[in-house]
Amino acid sequence: MAEVSGLPHDRTSTSIISAAAAAVALMLICGAGPARAQAQPLSNAPTVAAATVPQPAASTTPAGGDTIAPGTTITAQNWQQYQQFMPDGMAALFQGSYYWKIPPDVRMEVGPTVIHPLPKTYMEATEKYSGQVNTVDLPDGGMTLTGYQGGIPFPNPSEPHQGWKVLANLWYRYLPHLIVDTFGRGCLMDRGGSISCKAAQIVNRQLAFNTDPGTPATYPGSEGKFSTEWFMVLQPEQDRYTAFLTISYADPTKAEDTYLFLPQLRRYQAVSSAARCSPNQGTDSTQEDYRFGFNSNITELSVRMLGEKKILALLNAKLPPGEFPENFDMPLGWPMPSWGKWQVRDVYEISVSKIPSKASGYCYGKRVMYVDKATFAPLWEDLYDRDLKLWRIFGLFLRAAEVPGVGTVDASGSMVWAFWDVKNSHASFFIDPAADHPLYVNDTAPKEYMDLERYTSAPGLNLIMR
């Protein structure tokens, strides 16, 4: 259970906090240029490709080839021919080394690699400001950056500190400045097949370094904030209105703040930073995994470049209709062919761990991340425990979306993400948004979500039940 500072330690408030602890797990469902338009929810249909990378015409690729041709189908019988294109965790699922393994009927259909260019204004900021961005060593062994004002901080990451520069690019990757997930669903599954699902509403807001047309680079009154995530429980009913707000700052050396609103007390409280690694009620995500796959403090991390490679990734995916586990390939919970075609993507492979001065008590020994070269979005992660044994396999299956005034973007905040815990044989699945519920970005969002006080400040939590 998350430690909540400032609450009275009497029996009544303790029971209230315990009742709210189950809702803490729902924070996992978040996980990441607005010309004025009518407020319309985004469709679940994949968007049309803006550009396609040419691929060989053959329907198969010999073992050892440097790509996989469109039309290839990968199965449990032929997967070893394509193992070089798999992250380590994906290969482990195919190998059947753990309780969680690829179903025998799996079909991964490979399509063309589709690259949606990053927004024009984001790239203009990259060209204007990236030349003034520098890395700075910190006294505790960490690293930060100076001179960042928007866009990609290190558009051509190279040594020294190449891996850390890739991670900084991921942290400042393009995302719409406003993302409203009206009904994100998270489902937990144990090795016996028992499933429990919950739901939440999530509002992500970027307050500094914005590049979307018509949006201020920094919102007035944002008090040095970079981004916020507002999260309110919708289901189950007994936890409804329990809410959280996480605030990250423009100064990356400043630690995040997290606040909890308890409807029974009708007020918010600060949450201890010690709760960042808590999996909460058997779920398989932590606060370190939010913001669409990564939410750790980049100034406290050591990053090693493992290499550049091509991997299979599922982008431009359709969200599965129905309620989990409908339209998932069970019992693993793997994407079905109906979700879309897999792509061969160029990625940076990096290994991320806490610097020694910050490593004590941290949840992960290392996080191996496969970062898309085109977007700097994480496409897959393998999470290792403190003994550096594989612990959680983390698949991210992204849905492209149309952003008003910007165009089609691959990293929209809409996706399915899955955690397979290979040590404890349980798993978690998050669908953002769930079937038949809209996701809004930027100016497609109803006016109520533009309220900065309500959705980006701690006192705004107290407005929830008013």
Which among 241, 275, 243, 242 is positioned nearest to 256, based on CA atoms? Answer: 275
Residue type at 3 in one-letter notation: E
Q: For 303-371, give the DSSP string.
A: EEEEEEEEEEEE-SPPPPPSSTTTTEETTTTEEPGGG--EEEEEEEEEEEEE-GGG-TT-S-SEEEEEE
CATH fold label, 11-53+112-463: outer membrane lipoprotein receptor (LolB), chain A (2.50.20)
Q: Which residues contact 62 (CB under 8 A, 6 or more apart)?
A: none
Which among 335, 319, 317, 28 is positioned nearest to 188, based on CA atoms? Answer: 28
Encoding tokens for residue 379?
């496409």
Which among 244, 166, 233, 239 is positioned nearest to 201, based on CA atoms? Answer: 233
- Is residue 387 within 8 Å of residue 149, measured between CB atoms? no
Supply φ then ψ for residue 147, to 5 degrees.
85, 5
pTM: 0.88
Distance CA 433, CA 186 (A): 10
Which among 173, 41, 26 is positioned nearest to 449, based on CA atoms? Answer: 41
Note the Cα 189 to chain centre separation in Å.
Answer: 20
- Is residue 432 within 8 Å of residue 413, measured between CB atoms? yes
- Per-residue pLDDT 10s for the chain (466 aa) are 333 333 333 333 433 344 444 444 344 334 433 333 334 444 443 333 343 333 323 334 444 579 999 999 999 999 999 999 999 999 999 999 999 999 999 999 999 999 999 999 999 999 999 999 999 999 999 999 999 999 999 999 999 999 999 999 999 999 999 999 999 999 999 999 999 999 999 999 999 999 999 999 999 989 899 999 999 999 999 999 999 999 999 999 999 999 999 999 889 999 987 788 887 555 688 889 999 999 999 999 999 999 999 999 999 999 999 999 999 999 999 999 999 999 999 999 999 999 999 999 899 999 999 999 999 999 999 999 999 999 999 999 999 999 999 999 999 999 999 999 999 999 999 999 999 999 999 999 999 999 999 999 999 999 998 7
Q: For the purposes of burial, counting CB atoms within 10 Å of the CB of 464, is it exposed (0-12), middle (13-18) or buried (19 or more)? A: middle
- Number of CB atoms found within 10 A of residue 213's CB: 15
Distance CA 368, CA 303 (A): 10
